[in-house]
Amino acid sequence: MTITTEVSRLLAPMALAACMLSANGQADEVEATWHRRTLDNGLSVLVVHVAQAPRQSSFTFIPLGLLHDEPGRAQFAHVLEHMVIRTTDPDGLQVDGIDINGETTGAALRLDTIAPPERWRPALERHARWLGARSFDATVLEREQGRIAGEESGTVVRGATHKWALAGWNQVVRHGAEHAAVHADAAAADVDVLADYAARYIGPGPGVSLVTVGPVAAEEVMDAIVEQFGELPRLEGDGAVRPAEVHGGDARHVEASWDLGARHLQIWYALPDRDAVDRAAAVVLGQLISIRLAQDSELAGLGVLAMADTQVVTPEGRYLMLSAGLPAGVDVDRVREQLIGVVAGLADREDGSVAWNFGVAMVRRQFAGRPDFASARRAYAAQGLDARTTDLIEAQMMLSLSMVGMQVGVGPEGVAEAFTAVDGDRVGELVDEFLVPADRARSLVLMPAE
């Protein structure tokens, strides 16, 4: 679900280098202040006060993504994203000056509002109502299911099936299905089942957080959050969807069908999850691999768009995943071999070399500092971007930082410390201990059902 093309583009996860993380500001600008609190019902709250910000932007993160849906309920998190937002705004995504947006990734369901300062209270109220949503309209559901089907068909045509492949991987690898009904499960969802799903997974509890950034005084915002969210009941349990079984047992490479008209290859490696620095090093590693994939001439010649993802986190563990849509006629084994070869090539580095450490440092520095909103605003203004675009800078920066924090398992304010501790040796250890030799890789090919 998106609002406008411009807002959607700016709110997409992106490299924080574009956000100019820095500790330096100008003396005539008020430094941002950060205020953390956890409510009695478990909701984690971060309020960032930026006096110069023109809008108040708020994001609710719920750890229910495409990797976490129950067996036979592929994309239910995605359907819930649409329907939860529609409980407050059945038709539009721009209401009374408030921009509304939702996004479902593999790791989380995210709900957003961006509001002018005078509309911050009704915007925040929407988040509280979303977390408490327990009933849905059947007519609205039918319409939103049609929109989801449109998203599927639009991306399949372009070969951009990475998102849907995560839902397929969850059903096949985590839940033992031989066929992933990625489209059909979502299309068959009804309001009663969704209401039950919401009651079990949507609400304050472990891993659920609210981040808001803008010009409204932090104390005023925090008081409103306590008032609006404090009485919401805490979810029971830990919110995790347990697996049914692991498909293929010890088999390294498995194949399954799904109900989308494209082939997709996924390759994954188990990663350690010992602490925040491990996870930060994995994020750096994922970006280094993504750079190599983008520069690989063999993949480019095959027309394969491949990416590396380190947000593949399930109750069973954390993984690095390579994901590639397969153009018609391209040999699966050839692509698999090339992807695994790109990862294996990391072992050929020279430990302590200037080139390796420089590459790690270039990626790490995107995250190893607090965001300097004022400097970013000046930089964007110098590029001649219009006011509507620059209005979203604080939202863009906090969203990016929050999503990286989720990968690392810390709040946005803890990201810098985790990444500061990452160096070339730590990233190299991940390669040597978990990615090589090549038989550490497992893969899944999703094929259109006949």
45 and 77 within one domain? yes
| CATH number for the domain harbouring residue 225 | 3.30.830.10
Q: Looking at this protein, which amino acid is placed at residue 445?
A: V
Any domain includes 331: yes
CB atoms within 10 A of CB 316: 13
201 and 176 within one domain? yes
> How many Cα neighbours within 13 Å face the side chain of 170?
31
d(CA 257, CA 248): 14
328 and 225 within one domain? no
pLDDT digits (tens, 9 = 90+) for 162-221: 999 999 999 999 999 999 999 999 999 999 999 999 999 999 998 999 999 999 999 999
pLDDT digits (tens, 9 = 90+) for 309-329: 998 988 888 999 999 999 999
pLDDT band (50, 70, 90) for residue 3: very low
SS3 of 165-179: the string is HHHHHHHHHHCCCCE
Give, to the nearest 10 degrees, the angle between helix 354-364 and helix 276-295: 110
Residue 372: DSSP 8-state: -
- pLDDT value at 247 more than 50: no
Any domain includes 218: yes
How confident is the model at residue 83, as a pLDDT?
97
The tokens describing 117, both together, are 């300062």
196 and 166 within one domain? yes
Contact partners, residue 414, CB within 8 Å, separation at least 6 = 276, 405, 408
- pLDDT value at 27 more than 50: no
Any domain includes 251: no
Look up tokens 């390669």; give the residue. Answer: 431
> How many Cα neighbours within 13 Å face the side chain of 140?
19
- What is the pTM for the complete model shown? 0.91
159-197 burial, b for 16+ CB within 10 Å, e for fewer? bebbbbbbbbbbbbbbbebebbbbbebbbebebeebbeb
Is 83 in contact with 90 (CB distance < 8 Å)? no
Any domain includes 164: yes
pLDDT digits (tens, 9 = 90+) for 342-388: 999 999 888 778 889 999 999 898 888 888 888 888 887 788 777 66
Any domain includes 364: no
159 and 87 within one domain? yes
Q: Which domain holds residue 134?
A: 5-242+375-410
153 and 109 within one domain? yes
313 and 227 within one domain? no
281 and 201 within one domain? no
Number of domains composing the chain: 2
231 and 112 within one domain? yes
13 and 136 within one domain? yes
Select, from the ranges 133-142, 232-241, 377-386, the one with the highest average predicted confidence (pLDDT).
133-142
97 and 120 within one domain? yes
42 and 167 within one domain? yes
